[in-house]
Amino acid sequence: MKVLLSWLRDFAPDIDGDSEQLAEVLADLGLAVEELSHVGRGLDGIVIAEVLATRPHPDADRIHLVDVDAGDGEALQVCCGAFNMAVGDLVPLATVGTTMPNGIEIARRKMRGEWSNGMLCSGAEIGMGDDHEGILILEQGLSLGVPLAEALGIQPDVLFDLEVNPNRPDAMSVMGVARDLAARLGVPFSVAVPAVDETGTPAAERASVSIASPDFCQRFGVRVLDNVPSGASPRWMANRLLAVGQRPINAVVDLSNYVMFELGQPNHTYDLDLVPGGELGVRMAHRGEELITLDGTARALTTYDGVIVNRDDQAIGLAGVMGGASTEISADTRSVLLEAAWWDPMTIARTARRLGLRSEASARFERGADPDIIPIALDRFAELAAALGSTTAPGMIDATGNRPEPIPVRVRSPRVNSILGTDLSTDQMIALLEPIGFACDSGEDGQDFNVNIPSWRLDSATEIDVIEEVGRLHGFSKIARTVPVTEQAGALTPQQQDRRRVRELLTGMGISEAMPLPFLAPGDLARAGLGDDGITVTNPLVAEESIMRTSLRPGLLKAVAYNAARRTTGVSLFEIGRVNPGGGGDLPDEGEHLAVILAGQEATAATTLWRRLARHLTVARPGVVNGPVDGLHPGRSGQVLADGQPVGALGEIDPQVLDAYEIDERVAWLEVDLGALLEADRGLAPYRAPSRYPSSDVDLAFTVSDEVSADEVYATIAEAGGELLASVALFDVFRSDQLGEGQRSLAFTLRFEAPDRTLNDAEVAQARQSCIDAVSNTHNASLRG
Amino acid sequence: MAEPEQLVVEAERQAAAATTLDELSAVRTAMTGKRSPLVAARKALGDMEPDARKQAGQALNEAKAAIDEILSAREAELAAAARAEKLAAERLDLTEVVEQPASGHLHVITQTWQELEDVFVGMGYRVAEGPEIESEWYNFGALNFPLGHPARDMYDTLYVDYGEPGTTLLRTHTSPVQARVMENQEPPIYVVAPGRCFRQDTADATHMPVFHQIEGLVVDRHTTLGDLAGTIEAFTAAYFGPGFSSRLRPSYFPFTEPSAEFDIQRPDGTWLELGGCGMVHPNVFEACGIDPEQWQGFAFGFGIDRLALIRFGIDDLRELWTNDIRFLGQF
């Protein structure tokens, strides 16, 4: 929403001060200034010029040569990148030596070998509208060589581009912004009553309005205007419209826009001759009803759209969104029906969104226009039109629908202070509210008071809404800052702490944390050997982001492939992230996984990693069970167990999957359900004091079939060693022809000790033999010499 | 038989001639061993007259002590020389190291996330979490966005095909965690909720369809807008450091009223628009089963990703997601 300082002063002449400071005040009122610019500044040196001829540039396609007459009758050559001018057009020329509003200095220079003696300007370049593309074509009749500002009557002004929040329908008009600003600055604000001279046949005899959808249309006002101007609007109006980004079209359209920007009331004109009997009606559209809108498009309507109909119940306008083509005014139009109405915001929002027809008008209706501004807006239009020769029929048609009775809001002063943290008296609160039209009457006890919400604040209806206004007008920056004190000790949950410990362990092991996108393309999971696709996104922008992942594997494989393609192999990465394996109740199941990918490493690297992780997290009975896992190397994969329960898988990525990702090194993989892992039985074994007596070490090497896992042998030894076995560790593995096919040697070192004595040779020998017997019997293994 | 004085002279000569500990050991054997002249002389004492024996014995003892001293001194010399030689031989170039795998790096998002958590934990907050695939109710309904409310359009929501159409979505903000916490916990509540959020957006330098936010929620008996402003200010000082300050500007969010944007002012006077905040709307309290007449609260939220970019001087959001080790390894 763009507003000019001069326009604001039409409502509050005493608004004054430094424009930067005014911008700060506006921001503090919740009207953030996205851009502050100075209209009419930097126009020195820009003059009116006429296009004499245009020629192609001999050496460039994107620019051409334009000869202009800047008042001296001479042809001046200018290089120009826009092609929208014709011979005879009047254009703004920035002469050599001009400093443009953006600070650029115009010099005589060669462009690809051709001299350019100045620059032709677009509207945007000189603060007249938003058009960056074409050169601004000026109206005919201006004197050549005259400074642009003088020729167009441009006064220095300040333009504020405001960000208006959805809860500020009032701020969608110059009047509303002026009201807020005047209230904060403590200067008078008033809306002038438009002066309308009425003449001819009363409007009521020439037009009528009937409302069949009274909830949709709370109010519908009509005036009848004759002798409407057919030419351009006055220069001052066109300048203001240009400044706020609205291209002037013709007097009637410009008047309509001007009134909308000024008062926030969108309005529409019908050619009275094209509306039989001047009869207008309002109803909801029928299913399948069609209407050709002003832009010539046929619109299929629904029962959720509101329409304006004529005497024959034919739709002639899409209420609040766009007028119909059949009653459009033209150069021949002499008399118009001027409509200003109030439409239900939700209905307008829905229609505008469905048809993709959001406009300045629909934006205002969506927020909630002011039903009470309707007669003023009609009169303001009539007043401005009268200055252009139009006449106004006596009277105004003022049809009403169901307008809810305004309910005063009871406001508790202590509550206001309690929410805001202020210490305002009731009188102070009222003094803040009254200038923005929130009429207050003091309650009986002088503490509570009733507030009548103004008609322009549809958003405001409850006590908290009023409290917000008190805070806003008082100024958030003036509220004393305090920090609430809690008795609660801040802390991470044990699970959150564990997550950090996992990250620390992994980074300590040289593994970096990756962050792949959680979205997948169709087929990504299958490509990673993971079977069916996961939950789909209903409205993805691109197919690559249409599937939710069931595993972290596709993302990390992609990351390894990305690095490999950039000549970095041997990359180790991990990720902790959410996955959606499918299933679930009201919401799909969602788990948190940890995955580690070790490029250039064999499967056992994943086992080592898993054991360190399990030990770090004091997981009870961490295990690995060899066996095939989807997408992993069938002979180099296994389940991961915590306390006997499967919590994930590890191994090496299946070579076929690696091929699909164009990775040509071995890749070790571990993925665990971190939630399940952290919930598994965990904790340290009961404390045992270190023995003060010497221990005895025994090394045992067994020939064991490949069918038996080292872990199983380990478990057998651990069990058979009993109380005296302090530790056991696998320290050597080898295969040889001597051992034979399918056999290998597993060498373990065992340490025996007792807490209360030095073990004698017999005791150690007995324990040793128990272990040998157990392994031999359980696994059909033999002790090696 | 040699005179004791001569033995000492001889020992001195031989000790000096010995250049290794082994040679010295041989000298010691020759000079003080069982077959040494010294021992032989001592044996010969038994045949002497008592007076002469006494005199000769004393001379021998003195010679023995002198020889021992000579040998010890020489031994110490040789040992020191041997140690020095060994140390010299063991010299290492300590920069002559074959490159070991470097330590890993936490992602910049995680680093920023954890730092933010730590600031709020230090202020007495707990850390709450919620699902990334969320129901329409928690993302919008419970937060005072009625069905069909235009404010829902402010969020470019991604929905998923689950349950009835339009009921399940990828959360557009971390605010649903507010509602979940309030449903499950009796006030007072002091929590932050960092998390991943989603929106229908095309990836560019400043937008990603996935991003991270941190949400704060306080519900207590007398929580005020002044408390909110003070909390934002305290956070600003704790996270950004001295010289940074904050301001609140009125704004609009359906789930808070009054609502505000908060900006951080850098020491050079420029502003950074950080996030949104406000007092918890009474309708949100009611939707979550908390009596708004008994409890008051504030909420705030802001993006983590942009803070990470600023902190590490990264200029393109997409870099965060490439997983290029040359990126990850820098932080």
Q: What share of chain B is helix, strand, coil (3-state, %, to 5)?
A: 45, 20, 35
Higher pLDDT, A656 or A141: A656
Residue B149: the pLDDT is 72
* Minimum Cα–Cα distance from A557: chain B residue: B323
Residue A685: the pLDDT is 84
* Minimum Cα–Cα distance from A29: chain B residue: B250
> Domain-by-domain residue ranges, chain A?
2-39+159-185, 46-154, 203-400, 409-477, 494-679, 696-783
Task: Tell me which residue of A94, A84, A220 sits closest to A149, measured CA to CA.
Answer: A94
Interchain proximity B127–A496, CB inside 8 Å:
yes
Chain A residues near residue B104 by CB distance under 8 angstroms: 506-513, 572, 574
Interchain proximity B249–A30, CB inside 8 Å:
yes
Interchain proximity A166–B252, CB inside 8 Å:
yes
Interchain proximity B250–A472, CB inside 8 Å:
yes
For residues A308 and A285, the answer to whether their CB atoms sit within 8 Å is no
Most B CBs within 10 Å, among A24, A181, A463, A479, to test the B interface? A479
* CA–CA separation, A417 and A549 (whole Å): 49
Task: Tell me the CATH number of domain A2-39+159-185, given options 2.40.50.320, 3.30.300.30, 3.30.56.10, 3.40.50.300.
Answer: 3.30.56.10
Q: What sign does the dihedral A718-A721-A723-A724 (CA atoms) show?
A: negative
CB of A571 within 8 Å of a chain B CB? The answer is: yes
For the domain spanning A203-400, the CATH number is 3.50.40.10
Peptide bond before A454: cis, by omega within 30 degrees of 0?
no
Which helix H or strand E contains B299, and what residues bound it? strand B296-303
Closest approach of B91 to chain A, Cα-based (Å): 30
**pLDDT higher than threshold 70 for residue A445:** no
Interchain proximity B126–A488, CB inside 8 Å:
yes
Chain A residues near residue B259 by CB distance under 8 angstroms: 468
Residue B268: the pLDDT is 94
Distance of CA A570 to the CA centre of its chain: 38
- Mean pLDDT, to the nearest integer, of A113-137? 85
pLDDT band at A684 (very low <50, low <70, confident <90, very high): confident
Angle among Cα A21, A240, A271 to the nearest 5 degrees reads 140
A409-477 carries CATH number 3.30.56.10:
yes
* CA–CA separation, A358 and A305 (whole Å): 14
DSSP secondary structure of A629-670: -TTEEEEEEEEEEETTEEEEEEEEE-HHHHHHTT--S-EEEE
Q: What is the pLDDT of residues A68-106, one digit of tens each?
A: 998 888 899 999 999 999 999 999 999 998 888 788 889
Residue B118: the pLDDT is 97
Residue B183: the pLDDT is 96
pLDDT band at A500 (very low <50, low <70, confident <90, very high): very high
Q: What is the DSSP pairing of strand B189-198 with strand B126-127?
A: parallel
| Least confident interval from A91-100, A438-447, A524-533, A770-779 | A438-447
* CA–CA separation, A588 and A534 (whole Å): 11
Most A CBs within 10 Å, among B100, B158, B160, to test the A interface? B160
| Least confident interval from A79-88, A260-269, A272-281, B47-56 | B47-56
For residues A451 and A469, the answer to whether their CB atoms sit within 8 Å is no
Task: Tell me which residue of A223, A232, A175 sits closest to A199, measured CA to CA.
Answer: A223
- Mean pLDDT, to the nearest integer, of A609-629? 94
Looking at the structure, give the CATH architecture of the domain made up of residues A46-154.
Answer: Beta Barrel (2.40)
Q: What is the pLDDT of residues A109-122, one digit of tens each?
A: 888 889 999 999 98
Peptide bond before A622: cis, by omega within 30 degrees of 0?
no
Give phi and psi for A20, each to the nearest 5.
Answer: -65, -40
**pLDDT higher than threshold 70 for residue A443:** no
* CA–CA separation, B209 and B12 (whole Å): 91
Residue B234: the pLDDT is 94
Q: Tell me, what amino acid is at A59?
A: D
Closest approach of A46 to chain B, Cα-based (Å): 34
Chain B residues near residue A28 by CB distance under 8 angstroms: 249-250
Interchain proximity A540–B158, CB inside 8 Å:
yes
Q: What is the pLDDT of residues A564-574, one digit of tens each?
A: 999 999 999 99
Fold (CATH) for B108-328:
BirA Bifunctional Protein; domain 2 (3.30.930)
Residue A44: the pLDDT is 85
Chain A residues near residue B109 by CB distance under 8 angstroms: 515
pLDDT band at A151 (very low <50, low <70, confident <90, very high): confident
For residues A316 and A270, the answer to whether their CB atoms sit within 8 Å is yes
Task: Tell me the CATH number of domain A494-679, given options 3.30.470.20, 3.40.50.300, 3.40.50.10190, 3.30.930.10.
Answer: 3.30.930.10
* Minimum Cα–Cα distance from A164: chain B residue: B251
> Domain-by-domain residue ranges, chain B?
4-89, 108-328
Q: What is the pLDDT of residues A368-412, one digit of tens each?
A: 999 999 999 999 999 999 999 999 999 999 999 999 998 999 999
Domain spanning A696-783: CATH superfamily: Ferrodoxin-fold anticodon-binding domain (3.30.70.380)
Q: Tell me, what amino acid is at A523?
A: G
**pLDDT higher than threshold 90 for residue A419:** yes
Give phi and psi for A257, each to the nearest 5.
Answer: -65, -40
Return all residues near B158 (Cβ < 8 A) that are at least 6 apart: A537, A538, A539, A540, B169, B170, B172, B198, B199, B200, B209
Smallest Cβ–Cβ distance between A536 and the set B161, B218, B234 belongs to: B161
pLDDT tens by residue, chain B, 331 residues: 568 888 899 999 999 999 999 999 999 999 888 888 888 888 888 888 888 888 888 988 999 999 999 999 999 999 999 999 999 999 998 988 888 777 899 999 999 999 999 999 999 999 999 999 999 999 999 999 877 676 777 788 999 999 999 899 999 999 999 999 999 999 999 999 999 999 999 999 999 999 999 999 999 999 999 999 999 999 999 999 999 999 999 999 999 999 999 999 999 999 999 999 999 999 999 999 999 999 999 999 999 999 999 999 999 999 999 999 999 999 9
* CA–CA separation, A670 and A606 (whole Å): 6
What share of chain A has pLDDT > 90, as a percent? 80
Residue B53: the pLDDT is 87
Residue A731: the pLDDT is 95
Smallest Cβ–Cβ distance between A419 and the set B122, B165, B279 belongs to: B279
| Least confident interval from A474-488, A494-508, B35-49 | B35-49
Chain A residues near residue B107 by CB distance under 8 angstroms: 512-515
Residue A231: the pLDDT is 86
* Minimum Cα–Cα distance from B259: chain A residue: A468
Residue A743: the pLDDT is 95
- Both tokens of B95, joined, read 């920069």
CB of A567 within 8 Å of a chain B CB? The answer is: no
Return all residues near B194 (Cβ < 8 A) that are at least 6 apart: B113, B116, B117, B127, B174, B212, B213, B214, B215, B304
- The long-range contacts involving B40-46, CB below 8 angstroms and separated by at least 24 positions, are B40/B1, B41/B1, B41/B2, B41/B4, B41/B7, B44/B1
* Minimum Cα–Cα distance from B279: chain A residue: A419
